[in-house]
Amino acid sequence: MNVRQLHSSNSKWETIFGFSRAIEVGDTLYVSKTGPLDANGEITATGVAEQTRVVIENISRVIEKANFKLEDVIQSRLYLTEIDNWQEAATVHGQYFHAIRPAFTLLHVLPFPERKMIVAMEVVARRQQPAAVSESP
């Protein structure tokens, strides 16, 4: 039986809005939409490329805190409010995930409630199991 383990960032919004930063079920981790907030909860990064880097670094910290690795990511969804700069975001995504190559969706969305946020991302990670070795008789 797979038990749901909730992972929190201790944000007040998790309690108010009723969500978790990430949920682990078995060997799978679902990471909620993550924005480009710095350690003080502020958005200081400007531009699509810079915000994409901050978002992926934030996601990486969530994943590592749950004892997963960035290499475990099997799906990523990147949300942009400025679609004209989609190639910048996709290029940064590629810098982090070029060897991993998860399933990837890039979406143009309406502005986020926090207008400075122009990039957000969510991922699904699955802990990699060592390949089974079978011996020939």
125 burial via Cβ count (<10 Å: 0-12, 13-18, 19+): buried
Give pLDDT tens digits along the chain (137 positions).
678 999 988 888 889 999 999 999 999 999 999 999 998 889 999 999 999 999 999 999 999 999 999 999 999 999 999 999 999 999 999 999 999 999 999 999 999 999 999 999 999 999 986 555 555 55
Q: Which of 3.40.50.10260, 1.10.10.10, 1.10.357.10, 3.30.1330.40 would CATH assign to domain 34-126?
A: 3.30.1330.40
Look-up of token digits 């070795």: 133
The total number of residues written for the chain in this structure: 137
Residue ranges of the alpha helices (H) in the chain?
12-17, 48-65, 86-97
State whether residue 9 is helix, strand or coil.
coil
Domain ranges of the chain: 34-126
What is the value of pTM for the model shown?
A: 0.89
Q: Tokens representing 64? A: 């590592």
